[in-house]
Chains A and B, each alone.
Chain A
Amino acid sequence: MIQINELTKIYKLTAKKMQELKTKENTKIAVNNISLVAKPGEIYGLLGTNGAGKTTTLRCVATLLKPTKGQISVCGYDTVKDGQKVRDSIAFLTNEIKLDPNFSADYMFKFFGRLHGMSEEQIVARREELFNVFGINDFKNKKIEELSTGMKQKAAIAVSLVHDPEVVIFDEPTSGLDIVTARNVTDYLKFLRDQGKTVIVSTHIMSEAEKLSDRIGVIINGNKVAEGTLSEIISQNEAEDLEDAFFRLYSKHNPEGK
């Protein structure tokens, strides 16, 4: 279970960043007072444009960033006070965090298994399962740097799940993947949900959010502007589909088109 209460994250801007953003403000509100709950046995989809605040929210959940205000708990552990326990309970996948290219998928899997305090037997058993699911056995001994984007993503997903965590947080998990690999990943996320895991996925791809999410939270400019099941969001906005609903919400909450 992930419980986010009134999360606000404010970044301090450097002079260079202020120049880039053409602003005189030396702070930027990345996430503004967001609350949400992702429950076990559910896939929660965070939908938003690039820079809306999805990744910042997920990074706060993964303990990589500290909330400026508000509180987050994962499996009952506070992300600020019990960071290590939170990290042991989650799988976190994002494009910006990568596996060391100098090692094989097999070595990385064992390495992170050991960091999670798993025994060699546990690691081997888990490797059998995940490497079969993602078809990694064929390239498990190749260096990460020698793998294709799809292979790298498969390896990264398998490694992130080495410790069989209760909570799975994937930021744009199908970004850059071919259609077959992307399907493979989304199918596995559904499998995890069916296993009773809490899954939270961020995406800006409407079709993915539609097919994958049990509930969706829409974030625009750091604010959560809608939440509900797919049909609830469509009906609340008198839209034809999720894309239509999103554009209506976007126009309403971002009239200047920022």
Chain B
Amino acid sequence: MNGTVIILKKELKRVFGDKKLVFSLFILPAIIMVALYGIMGFMMGKMSDDIEEHRNSVYVVNATEGFKNIISATGYDKNNDVIYLSEEEYRAAAKLDDDLAKKEDAIKTEEDFLNYQVKNNMVQLVVYFEKDFSKKYDSYTKSGDQIPSINLYYNPTENYSTNTYGVFTASIMNTYQSSLLKNRLEKEKIDMESLNVFNVVETTVAKEAKEKGKFISMMLPYMMVIMLFAGAMSVGVDAIAGEKERGTLASMLLSPVNRGQIVGGKIISLMILSGLSAIVYVVSMMVAMPVMKALGGESADMAQGLGNLELSLVQGLQLVAIMLTLVFLFVALIAFLAVRAKDVKTASTYISPVYIVVMVAGMLTMFMSGDKVPTYRYAIPVYGSAVAVKDLCVNELTAVNFLASLSGALILAVIFTVLITKSFNDERVMFNA
């Protein structure tokens, strides 16, 4: 039997013959991922429901009748406590709280009092109509006249307050502003419609595949790169540096098998194991996302985008080919660093900065503009593969660019494999001689 096959079988048996290792390498990450995303979804859903269901308190000082009517018409006051205060009532409320004023040095004015209440989430929003709001509105006749103002006090660091502010401005303030504007224009006998000079008609012209795959094309290359690298790292370091440290690699070097065959057996087994590890991650994520969506509802919308990848058979094969070359490259790279290290600890130290570089290469594709990427860039290992996967998601990967991405990663992987074989023959590397 060929030495490569014998070593390959032994390496696979080492992992699959050990239930604990199988659990920690393949089952535990899947459980953690599903559980993690599930908890995230649950928490997001809970938070969103809580915000929506929370009965907010809104103080409206010096509210006009028109404003009160709009609040009543929208039904906002049914689910929230809208408290109308006159200027006097409001001032009295501020003065009544003398104890508070003594404790809080900063509270000197009525405005400070409002701020204090909003800041401490006692009130989610304060709407303060300037004194003589209606008078100023009515007396406006020409440009340059005084415009009345409405002050809104809310706390952007508090979810309830932010949400109240958002809903209030979108549904009530805008409506109120439009109604006042309409009244003013009617007085001037101007039709509100005449302010609308033109209509903007928007039609999206993106290819369906591109539109559907836009989100996934942003996420998948990055996720694929880091997951494949993490998979290779989880099995590669121990299989090479660990064996070297324990003295078990040397026993193999004493066999009559060609060192190239030993490297071949190691690399192929690591490719299989890290490939499986990556598949576990991808499947876990595919399971985890619907779980997240189910538990999180609309608030976990980001999960929806990941389910939008539709690939033809050829595209599927292209994706597999890109992933295989990446796995080969990562395994060879990690094995090379592991073989140059004297023990597992040193190997991890060597690999950590490389992991960061690989992450950055994957991340670069996340925020790429729509400019066409020149073919030579597809040949840049890791980055080129990530760009190719991005193109694949939106149905824009050309055959030339696909081949360039494969070649770049493959050439570097082969170089590392040759270097590993050389290292296996180097007594200084293998035996610290």
A and B are partners in one complex rather than unrelated chains = yes
Tell me the bound Cα distance from A85 to B256 in angstroms.
7
The closest CB in chain A to the CB of B247 belongs to A98
Q: Which of A88-112 contact B (CB under 8 A)?
A: 88, 92, 96-103, 107, 111-112
User: In the complex, which of the residues B6, B18, B253, B427 contacts A111, with contact meaning CB atoms closer than 8 Å?
Assistant: B6
B1 touches A84 (CB 8 A): no
The distance in angstroms between the C-alpha atoms of A98 and B248, with both chains bound, is 5
Q: Which B residue's beta carbon lies closest to that of A63?
A: B254
Q: For the complex, what is the distance from the CA of A186 to the CA of B251, rounded to whole Å?
A: 22
Most A CB contacts (10 A, CB to CB) among B13, B256, B427, B431 go to B256
Q: Does A59 contact B (CB under 8 A)?
A: yes
Render B1-19 as a binary contact track against A, CB cut-off 8 A, 1 for contact. 1010011001001100110
> Does B108 belong to the interface (CB within 8 Å)?
no
Mark interface residues in A96-134 (1 if CB within 8 Å of B CB, else 0): 111111110001000110111100000000000000000
How far apart sit A248 and B257, CA to CA, in the bound complex (Å)?
45
Known: A59-B431, A114-B1. A87 touches B255 (CB 8 A): yes
**Chain B residue at minimal CB-CB distance from A90:** B254
Interface-central residue, A85, A88, A114, by most chain B CB under 10 Å: A114
- Nearest A residue to B426 via CB reads A66
Q: Is A100 within 8 A of B243, CB to CB?
A: yes
Q: Mark A49-66, 1 if CB is under 8 A from B, else 0.
A: 000000000010011111
The tally of CB-CB contacts under 8 A between chains A and B is 69
Of residues A59, A64, A107, which shows the largest number of chain B Cβ atoms within 10 Å of its Cβ?
A64
Enumerate chain B residues within 8 angstroms of A87, measured Cβ to Cβ: 254-256
Instruction: Give min CB distance, A9 to chain B, whole Å.
Output: 8
Give the residue name and chain of the B residue nearest to A104 (CB): B17
Min distance, Cβ B326 to any Cβ of chain A, angstroms: 28
Nearest residue, chain B, Cβ from A162: B255
Q: Which of A85, A98, A102 sits near B251, CB closer than 8 Å?
A: A98
Does A69 touch B at the CB level, under 8 Å? no
Is A11 engaged at the interface, CB distance under 8 Å to the other chain?
Answer: yes
- Determine whether the beta carbon of A96 is less than 8 Å from that of B6: no
Q: Is B36 an interface residue (CB 8 A)?
A: no
B261 to A, closest residue via Cβ: A115
CB neighbours of A102 from chain B (8 A): 14, 17-18
Asked whether any CB of chain A lies closer than 8 Å to the CB of B252, the reply is yes
Q: B256, A88: Cβ atoms under 8 Å?
A: yes
Q: How large is the interface on B (under 10, 10 to 19, 20 to 34, 35 or more residues)?
A: 20 to 34
Is residue B258 contacting chain A, with contact meaning CB distance below 8 A? yes
CB distance from A163 to the nearest CB of B (A): 8
Q: Is the CB of A12 closer than 8 A to any CB of chain B?
A: yes
| Nearest B-chain residue to A107, judged by Cβ | B13
Q: Which residues of B contact A117 (CB under 8 A)?
A: 256
Decide: A64 and B18 in contact? CB cutoff 8 A. no
Residues 225 to 274 of chain B near chain A (Cβ within 8 Å): 243, 246-248, 250-258
A155-181 contact mask (Cβ, 8 Å, vs B): 1 or 0: 000000000000000000000000000
CA of A107 to CA of B247, assembled, Å: 18
Inter-subunit contact A65/B431 (CB<8 Å): yes
What residues on A are CB-neighbors of B6 within 8 Å? 111, 114-115
User: What is the CA–CA distance of A62 and B247 in the complex, to the nearest angstrom?
Assistant: 15
Q: Verify B256–A11 contact, CB threshold 8 A.
A: no
Report chain A residues within 8 Å CB of B256: 84-85, 87-88, 115-117
**Any chain A CB within 8 A of the CB of B102?**
no
Cα–Cα distance between A116 and B251 once the two chains are bound (Å): 12
State which of B3, B14, B433 has its C-beta within 8 Å of the C-beta of A103.
Answer: B14
Q: Is the CB of A64 within 8 A of B427?
A: yes
Partner of B255, one of A59, A96, A112: A112
Asked whether B78 is an interface residue with its Cβ less than 8 Å from the other chain, the reply is no
Inter-chain contacts of B251 with A (CB < 8 A): 97-100, 112
A116–B255 Cα distance when bound, in Å, is 7
In the complex, A140→B351 CA distance in Å? Answer: 37
Asked whether A97 lies within 8 Å of B14 as measured between CB atoms, the reply is no
Chain A residue at minimal CB-CB distance from B243:
A100
Give Cα A99–Cα B251 distance, bound, in whole angstroms: 7
Beyond A99-B248, A102-B18, is A65–B427 a contact (Cβ under 8 Å)? yes
Q: Which A residue's beta carbon lies closest to that of B253?
A: A64
B240 to chain A, nearest CB (A): 13
B427 touches A66 (CB 8 A): yes
Extra A-B contacts (6), CB below 8 Å, given A12-B428, A102-B17, A111-B6:
A64-B253, A64-B431, A65-B427, A100-B248, A103-B10, A115-B3
- List the interface of chain B (C-beta within 8 A of A): 1, 3, 6-7, 10, 13-14, 17-18, 243, 246-248, 250-258, 427-428, 430-431, 433
Q: Which 4 A-B pairs have the closest CB atoms?
A: A88-B256, A115-B255, A98-B247, A97-B250
Task: List, sorted by A's number, 29 A–B pairs whose CB atoms are closer than 8 Å.
Answer: A11-B433, A12-B428, A62-B254, A64-B250, A64-B431, A65-B431, A65-B433, A84-B256, A84-B257, A84-B258, A85-B256, A87-B254, A88-B256, A96-B250, A98-B246, A98-B248, A98-B251, A100-B251, A101-B246, A102-B17, A103-B10, A107-B13, A111-B6, A111-B10, A115-B3, A115-B6, A115-B257, A116-B255, A117-B256
